[in-house]
Structure 1
Amino acid sequence: MNQQQSGAPSRAMSVAELELDPSGAAVGLHPAPGAPAIARGEVYALVRVDGRPAATVIGTVAEGEDAIRVLAGLARERLAAAAAAPRTEAEHLAAGRPLPPTGAAPAPPRTSVIVATRERPASLARALDSLLVQDHPDHELVVVDNAPRTTDTHDLVTRKYAGRVRYVREDTPGLAVAHNTGAAAADGEVLAFTDDDVIADPHWLTALTEPFATDPGLGCVTGLILPARLGTSAQILLESHGGFAKGFAPRLYDPAQPPADEPLFPFTAGSFGSGANMAFRAAALRQAGGFDPATGTGTPARGGDDLYAFVAVLSAGFRLRYTAEALVWHHHRDTWQDLRNQAYGYGAGLTAYLTATLVRHPRLLPALLTRLPRGLAHARTMTARRGEGDDGVPGDGHDGVPGEHGAQHHPWPRNLSRLERRGMLYGPIGYARARARGAFRKAGAR
């Protein structure tokens, strides 16, 4: 596929952070962590207000223009529009249980950060460097080396990070298996999970785990994932159609008060968060049975391990919270083949996780069957050829910005939609193959 067929622009975007004070005045603009210097042309910026993530904007900075002035003007417009927009029911619930101000917040619980990895030492080192400067007062770092072919990861952790990072080896391939192994080795009251291709904001772990100290019924917290770079058209296209971001409004998902705006709840697990930025109360994850080892990257199921865990924890009666203050920067794969693999994997992971949920929690079958007609319609809409934004004009530049969940800034190729649907058909088969292979016997799975 070439860039013209993709519908995505060929020029790279700069990725930046724009700082505003509470009055809206701009106080700073700098490249995002790990991103190159800000260049003229299109700039994608995270907007922070008084240090807190609040929005994203994209603006074109022409030669001779002041980038901070251009982006600050766009930021004030977006923040004003967001303030005027009506809240969903789940957002009202989240706003009704606000976190205490930072100064008054109780100390976050003892936390174990678990990073599963396989043969990516350079990427892992970048992630670990960011995790070692977290402002969380009491945490440990655990690296799970999943089905290694070389000693590269072992050598990196035991030499460069000796005494600061624990190394655990898991020879059975699969992300869920690795996560279960890491959880078994960890000693934290809270278990936080992220990937080896992120850079964590210094406040990430504190923001992700503080809610557990104020809500004993909370089982899971997820956070904001933004792109570390937008250097290729594949990266820009993915981010323009939501990427991994879930927006900036707080959300609280409570099984005792299902959100009216999500009729498929709790089976719309993709809206809750993503595996690169999630934390669980250890006792809640154990009660829910842990991750299903027959799901996830590295298994025939191709994905769905995080989605399965979200639904399992909610089904066990715990609440799930999303907060944009827990931020990681994700290095998206940068080629078209990567994007094709992701499209297929997303589809497969979706139906694999649903299959896993019914296999391990058959009592949920009536609820799923009740929601199935809407679910099929939702799946078709999700994988349809995208390109019309809120104004109905395909790809005219007024349909949102990369990083805004669900925005449709560039047309979505039909072949990617077909791959997602093919993945959906394959997902249950992949899950069955993984269970037949025996992965489900690992880590105490039923």
Structure 2
Amino acid sequence: MIGSVTCSVVVCAYTLDRWDDLRASLLSVSDQSVQPDEVILVIDHNDLLLSRARTEFPGVRVMENRYRQGLSGGRNTAIAEARGDVVVFLDDDATADPGWLAALMKHYEDPAVIGVGGAAAPRWPAGRPAHLPADTEFDRGELDWVVGCTYAGQPETLTEVRNLMGCNMSMRRSVFASVGVFSEGLGRIGKVPLGCEETELCIRARQADPSARILFEPAALVHHRVTPDRVRWNYLISRCWAEGLSKAVVSRMVGQGDALSTERTYVGSVLPHAVGRELGRAVRRRRVRHLRSAGAIVIGLASTCAGYARGSMARSHGSRGSG
């Protein structure tokens, strides 16, 4: 219990290939300055991983995903089993700073707060790649969301936000009882980079109760490991395409206005500024790297828009077919 509120920390895992990451993630939870009331590990349809986890993590409630394969099904399994007032989600390839849980949980003393998320800093395999640029090596990059991390344009101080980021978020368990759980038609399945299930749930919760508050707390920091396959150009393109597809589905579910409210500012302000910055550096410094950076932003945006258009076309075709 933290203050008067109890919490359950949830980690979902699907592959033995990330065993070392999973172990580090759970160790970081055990090293928190304040302890959760329970830790739940959900294994996504992998019997070998389930057996090993039950043997090697005796202090953790280990269970198998009893719903549809994928991250949303795993999270929904944990929600059904969690005992805490607040359910906290941490990715299996992310490690939390010692003050992470305390920074999230302190805000739940306010009954209007229904969700709190934190920041995620990338742990690159070999330095920041040119196609994921940032103002300086110490800053957030405009495309860091592609690798599941906090990106340029997000708040740098405690701020009320539309939605939380999946690798580092928490929500009152009562919200799930009120508006339902994560949509299993959205979200990552293994290495398939779909997403936006957190966005859809947060919007749905706010639509049900417009007075509810969802907070971004940058002090609640985790470090998200970026694997070598995620710093390749083809991953950038596929992830952006999948984001567009996912946003089209969310628009259908909760309305385009809410689904794209944050994205309009990002596309209209943050990305043009970054392209101008990188082109200016290319001219001043005469370095091809900055041309690649500017090109990556344009290509990423184009891939996202193409995915959104494809998802919207599927919606339109589906509507005609059902008429």
> By the TM > 0.5 criterion, same fold?
yes
Matched, 1:284 2:175: yes
Q: Which residue of 1 aligns with 2:159?
A: 251
Question: 2-side partners of 1:424 and 1:216: how far apart?
Answer: 36
Cα deviation for residue 424 of structure 1 reads 1.3
Q: 1:304 to 1:170 in 2, by over 3 A?
A: same
Q: Which residue of 2 aligns with 1:224?
A: 119
Give the counterpart letter for 1:293 in structure 2.
E
Cα deviation for residue 425 of structure 1 reads 2.2
Cα deviation for residue 379 of structure 1 reads 7.5
Matched, 1:321 2:222: no
1:122 to 13, 17, 20: 20
Question: 2-side partners of 1:355 and 1:396: how far apart?
Answer: 43
Q: Which residue of 2 aligns with 1:240?
A: 141
1:426 to 306, 310, 319: 310
- Is the contact made by 1:112 and 1:142 (CA closer than 8 Å) also made in structure 2? yes
Question: 1-side partners of 2:181 and 2:284: how far apart?
Answer: 43
Matched, 1:387 2:275: yes
Give the counterpart letter for 1:226 in structure 2.
A
- Is the contact made by 1:235 and 1:332 (CA closer than 8 Å) also made in structure 2? no
- Is the contact made by 1:295 and 1:431 (CA closer than 8 Å) also made in structure 2? no
How do 1:47-446 and structure 2 match up within 5 A? Answer: 107=3, 109-119=5-15, 120-148=18-46, 150-151=47-48, 153-170=49-66, 172-213=68-109, 215-229=110-124, 231-234=126-129, 237=132, 240-243=141-144, 244-245=149-150, 246-253=154-161, 269=162, 272-298=163-189, 302-317=194-209, 318-334=212-228, 335-336=231-232, 337-358=234-255, 368=257, 381=268, 386-389=274-277, 393-394=280-281, 410-413=293-296, 414-428=298-312
Question: 2-side partners of 1:432 and 1:212: how far apart?
Answer: 41
Q: What is the alpha-carbon root mean square deviation over aligned residues? A: 3.5
Q: Which runs of 5+ in 2 are unaligned?
A: 134-139, 286-290, 318-323
Q: 1:395 to 1:310 in 2, by over 3 A?
A: farther
TM-score (norm 2): 0.76
Q: 1:189 to 1:381 in 2, by over 3 A?
A: same
Cα deviation for residue 289 of structure 1 reads 1.6
Question: 1-side partners of 2:270 and 2:157: how far apart?
Answer: 25
Q: 1:301 to 1:183 in 2, by over 3 A?
A: same
Q: 1:285 to 1:199 in 2, by over 3 A?
A: same
TM-score (norm 1): 0.57
Cα deviation for residue 431 of structure 1 reads 8.4
* Deviating more after overlay: 165-174 vs 422-431: 422-431
Q: Which runs of 5+ in 1 are unaligned?
A: 1-105, 254-268, 359-364, 399-407, 434-446
Give the counterpart letter for 1:219 in structure 2.
I
Q: 1:377 to 1:217 in 2, by over 3 A?
A: closer
Question: 2-side partners of 1:198 and 1:332: how far apart?
Answer: 9
Give the counterpart letter for 1:129 in structure 2.
L
Equivalent pairs: percent with the same residue? Answer: 19
Question: 1-side partners of 2:270 and 2:99: how far apart?
Answer: 35
Cα deviation for residue 307 of structure 1 reads 0.6
Structure with the higher helix share, 1 or 2: 2
Q: 1:323 to 1:378 in 2, by over 3 A?
A: closer
- Is the contact made by 2:125 and 2:227 (CA closer than 8 Å) also made in structure 1? no
- Is the contact made by 1:109 and 1:210 (CA closer than 8 Å) also made in structure 2? no
Q: 1:235 to 1:342 in 2, by over 3 A?
A: farther
SS in structure 2 of the partner of residue 294 of structure 1: coil
Question: 1-side partners of 2:67 and 2:316: how far apart?
Answer: 21
Question: 1-side partners of 2:217 and 2:315: how far apart?
Answer: 31
Q: 1:134 to 1:375 in 2, by over 3 A?
A: closer
Question: 1-side partners of 2:283 and 2:38: how far apart?
Answer: 47
- Is the contact made by 1:235 and 1:333 (CA closer than 8 Å) also made in structure 2? no
Cα deviation for residue 121 of structure 1 reads 2.3
Q: 1:234 to 1:344 in 2, by over 3 A?
A: farther
Any idea what the Cα deviations from partners look like across 1:370-400, whole Å, max 9, x if unmatched?
x98x8896586489675213x98355899xx
SS in structure 2 of the partner of residue 237 of structure 1: coil
Q: Which residue of 2 aligns with 1:47?
A: none
Tell which structure's C-alpha radius of gyration is larger: 1
SS in structure 2 of the partner of residue 387 of structure 1: helix
Q: 1:211 to 1:380 in 2, by over 3 A?
A: closer
Question: 1-side partners of 2:248 and 2:4: how far apart?
Answer: 35
Question: 1-side partners of 2:315 and 2:45: how far apart?
Answer: 19
Cα deviation for residue 290 of structure 1 reads 1.7
- Is the contact made by 1:192 and 1:278 (CA closer than 8 Å) also made in structure 2? yes
Cα deviation for residue 248 of structure 1 reads 2.2
